[in-house]
Amino acid sequence: MSLRSQLLKGVLEGCILAIIKKESVYGYELSVKLQKFGLNDVSEGSIYPLLLRLQKAGLIKGEMRDSPSGPKRKYYHLTEKGEEALQDFIAEWESIRKPVEKILRGGNME
Amino acid sequence: MNAKDLVALNNEKRKQLNEHNRNYYENMLVYIRSQLLLSEQQSEELLMELLDHLLEAQKHGKMAEDIFGTDAKAYCDELIRQLPKEKKRNIYAFIGYLAVRLFALGVLVTGAVELVAEWFTDVDDTVYLGKASVLFVIDFAVILLAVALVMRWIRKSAFHDDSSTFGGKVKEFLGIWFACCLVIGMFVLAEKLVPEFGYRIEAGGMVRILFGLFVFAVTWRLNKKFRITK
Average pLDDT value for residue range B2-19: 93
| Interface contact B186, partner A, CB < 8 A | no
Nearest-neighbour CA in chain A from B68: distance (Å):
5
Contact B69 A74 (CB under 8 A): no
| Interface contact A58, partner B, CB < 8 A | no
8-state DSSP, B70: S
**C-beta separation of A41 from A12 below 8 A:** no
**C-beta separation of B210 from B104 below 8 A:** no
Contact A28 B78 (CB under 8 A): no
| Interface contact A56, partner B, CB < 8 A | yes
The 10 Å CB-count burial string (b at 16+, else e) for B49-70 is bbbbbbbbbbeeeeebeebbee
Q: What does the alpha-carbon distance between residue B27 and residue B33 come to, in Å, rounded to a whole number?
A: 10
At B206, the amino acid letter reads M
Average pLDDT value for residue range B8-12: 94
Please, which pLDDT band fits residue B80 given cuts at 50, 70 and 90?
very high
Residue of B nearest to A73 (CA): B49
Instruction: Please count the CA atoms within 13 angstroms of the CA of A41 that sit on its side-chain side.
Output: 4
Work out the mean pLDDT of chain B and round it to a whole number.
90
Give B82's contacts in chain A (Cβ within 8 Å).
Answer: 49, 52-53, 56
The contacts of residue B41 (CB under 8 Å, 6+ apart) are B2, B3
Least CB-CB distance to B53: which of A28, A53, A72? A28
pLDDT at B82: 94
Residue of A nearest to B51 (CA): A28
Nearest-neighbour CA in chain A from B220: distance (Å):
29
Provide the CA A65 distance to its chain's centre, in angstroms. 22
| Interface contact B53, partner A, CB < 8 A | yes
Residues B18-41 have pLDDT tens digits of 999 999 999 999 999 999 899 999
Contact A49 B78 (CB under 8 A): yes
Residue of A nearest to B54 (CA): A28
Grouping H, G, I as helix, E, B as strand and the rest as coil, residue B95 is helix
Sheet holding A72-78, edge to edge: A25-26, A72-78, A60-66
Residue B27 CB: number of other CB atoms within 10 A?
A: 19
Contact B49 A71 (CB under 8 A): no
pLDDT one digit per residue (tens) for chain A, 110 residues = 566 778 888 899 999 999 999 999 999 999 999 999 988 777 889 999 999 999 999 999 999 888 777 778 999 999 999 999 999 999 999 999 989 998 998 866 65
Contact A44 B67 (CB under 8 A): yes
Query: Structure pTM?
Result: 0.84
Q: At what angle do helices B166-193 and B129-157 cross, to 10 degrees?
A: 160
Q: What does the alpha-carbon distance between residue B19 and residue B229 come to, in Å, rounded to a whole number?
A: 32
Contact A74 B78 (CB under 8 A): no
Q: Which of A28-32, B40-44, B123-127, B217-221 has the lowest mean pLDDT?
A: B123-127
In this structure, what are the phi and psi dihedrals at residue B84, rounded to the nearest 5 degrees?
Answer: -70, 150
- Give residue limits of the domains in chain B: 1-80, 87-224
Instruction: Please count the CA atoms within 13 angstroms of the CA of B86 that sit on its side-chain side.
Output: 20
Residue A35 CB: number of other CB atoms within 10 A?
A: 13
pLDDT at A26: 93
Nearest-neighbour CA in chain B from A27: distance (Å):
7
Contact A44 B52 (CB under 8 A): no
The secondary element (H helix, E strand) that includes residue B152 is: helix B129-157
Nearest-neighbour CA in chain B from A43: distance (Å):
6
**C-beta separation of B133 from B198 below 8 A:** yes
Please report the sign of the dihedral spanned by the C-alpha atoms of residue B59, residue B62, residue B64, residue B66. Answer: negative
Residue B83 CB: number of other CB atoms within 10 A?
A: 21
E strands, B109-199, are 126-128
Greatest distance between any 2 Cα atoms in chain B:
73
**C-beta separation of B215 from B103 below 8 A:** yes
Taking alpha carbons only, the member of B227, B221, B222 closest to residue B40 is B227
| Interface contact A52, partner B, CB < 8 A | yes
Instruction: Pick from A54, A72, A75 the residue to mutate for testing the B interface (most B CBs within 10 Å).
Output: A72
Average pLDDT value for residue range B121-129: 84
Instruction: Please count the CA atoms within 13 angstroms of the CA of A26 that sit on its side-chain side.
Output: 22
Domains of chain A plus CATH, in order, are 1-103 (1.10.10.10)
Nearest-neighbour CA in chain B from A41: distance (Å):
11
Residue B52 pLDDT > 60: yes
Taking alpha carbons only, the member of A21, A69, A30 closest to residue A48 is A30
Average pLDDT value for residue range B130-152: 91
